[in-house]
């Protein structure tokens, strides 16, 4: 059975997007140690999973010359890894190596998890995370806590109806102030 994990940035006050739905603040704390971790983490492979909003944001950045210049290893992986975008409204998915799935999210993810293949990683996509967490379909979470207070925004688990109890696995602090926390469901 394939595993499904989450990799997301959050602020100290618990938001994964700011009041404007943006995640630019998560890029503010770059340094060589952090950039090395991100490049190494991107080598993990798997299939990337997005909702429409995150997909459009990622597809608008990673194929660009700026992405290839600033983070060449990560851009190469993001552009070449297989990707799934869940959307009822998106007409097509044109970013390299992307499948568009329009079916019922929970049912489709159950099928994907039962298929053979690489593990899957959700990035961004808070609405999808909340639904899949409630359905107990997420196996692990990796949160990057950024040293910033946003004062408002949206949490990853907004509208999650039940309490989620996670098991702490590890943490790693970086000189730029970011802390990576890993949990299993």
**Rounded Cα distance, 35 and 121, in Å:** 19
Question: pLDDT confidence of 65, banded at 50, 70, 90?
Answer: very high
Please give the pLDDT value at position 141.
Answer: 97
Judged against a pLDDT cut of 80, whether residue 9 lies above it is answered with: yes
Please give the pLDDT value at position 35.
Answer: 83
Please give the pLDDT value at position 88.
Answer: 92
Q: How, if at all, do strands 4-11 and 120-123 pair?
A: parallel
Please give the pLDDT value at position 40.
Answer: 83
Compute how many other C-beta atoms are within 10 angstroms of the C-beta atom of residue 176: 15
CATH of 4-165, picked from 3.20.20.70, 1.10.540.10, 3.40.50.2300, 3.40.430.10, is 3.40.430.10
Q: pTM of the full predicted structure?
A: 0.91
- Start-to-end CA span in the chain (Å): 15
Domain boundaries, the chain: 4-165
Question: pLDDT confidence of 128, banded at 50, 70, 90?
Answer: very high
Question: pLDDT confidence of 56, banded at 50, 70, 90?
Answer: very high
pLDDT above 90 covers what percent of the chain?
76
What burial letters (b/e) apply to 33-47, b meaning 16+ CB within 10 Å?
Answer: ebeebeeeebeeebb
Question: pLDDT confidence of 7, banded at 50, 70, 90?
Answer: very high
Judged against a pLDDT cut of 90, whether residue 28 lies above it is answered with: no
Question: pLDDT confidence of 41, banded at 50, 70, 90?
Answer: confident
**Residue range 134-168, pLDDT digits in tens:** 999 999 999 999 999 999 999 998 888 888 999 99
């Amino acid at each position: 059975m394939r595993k499904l994990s989450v990799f997301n940035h959050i602020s100290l006050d618990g938001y994964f997007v700011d009041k404007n739905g943006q995640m630019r603040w998560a890029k503010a704390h770059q340094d060589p140690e952090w950039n090395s971790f991100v490049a190494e983490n991107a080598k993990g492979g798997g299939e990337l999973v997005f909702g429409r909003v995150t997909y459009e944001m990622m597809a608008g950045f990673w194929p660009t010359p700026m992405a290839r210049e600033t983070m060449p290893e990560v851009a190469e992986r993001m552009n070449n890894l297989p990707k799934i975008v869940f959307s009822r409204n998106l007409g097509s998915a044109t970013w390299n190596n992307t499948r568009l799935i329009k079916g019922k999210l929970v049912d489709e993810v159950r099928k994907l998890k039962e298929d053979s293949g690489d593990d899957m990683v959700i990035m961004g996509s808070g609405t999808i995370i909340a639904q899949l967490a409630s359905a107990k379909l997420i196996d692990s979470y990796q949160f990057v806590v950024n040293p910033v207070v946003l004062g408002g925004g949206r949490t990853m688990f907004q509208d999650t109806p039940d309490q989620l109890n996670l098991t702490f696995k590890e943490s790693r602090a970086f000189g730029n102030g970011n802390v990576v926390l890993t949990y299993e469901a």
